[in-house]
Amino acid sequence: MTSPSMQGGAERTVTGGVDDRLEVTTDAGDGAGWLLFAGTVMGLAGFMRIIDSMWAFHYKGALPDNLKDSVLGDNLHTYAWTWLVVGAVLIVSSVFILARSQFARWVGFFAAAVAGLSAMTWMPYYPIWSLTYVAIAVMTFYALARYGGRDSI
């Protein structure tokens, strides 16, 4: 005989007069959604940075006049190499985060910081997108700080 009532998060099953409890647990634990968010964001951000680098390598048009005053100078190939390296770091950290290794937490901290700082280089040209990207990097940093520790993994 099975009782459909839930007591304390466990389904209660009664068999032959013996009271057995079936404990329902999940492998995910607290913060699994945040860690999935962090890993996914890092992977997507890395992919977007690699797309940015491919565009910068192949762009042959006129550059904005105020690019000479930017953080990395006026050579678009410098930006292309920077975005390629940043993209690779972000994708590698994404894989580590989704694998839930402790090392991934520290790589993720570094990658989130790099993602936020690299987005700020575009602040004069795309302020809304840059601020959004920085906010996503901050949320990723929070996910790793709050839920990426040894107790959570």
Model confidence over 19-65: pLDDT tens digits? 556 444 445 567 888 889 999 988 998 898 899 999 989 988 777 66
- Number of domains the chain is built from: 1
Per the model's pLDDT, the better-predicted residue between 20 and 95 turns out to be: 95
Q: Could you tell me if residue 7 is inside a domain?
A: no
Longest Cα separation, the chain:
83
Q: Is the model's pLDDT at 3 over the cut of 80? A: no
Model confidence, pTM: 0.64
For residue 54, what are the domain limits? 32-147
Pairing of strands 18-22, 10-15: antiparallel
Report whether 144 contacts 38 (CB < 8 A).
yes
Q: Could you tell me if residue 25 is inside a domain?
A: no
φ, ψ for residue 14 (rounded to 5)?
-115, 120
Give the mean model confidence (pLDDT) for residues 83-109. Answer: 85
pLDDT of amino acid 131: 94
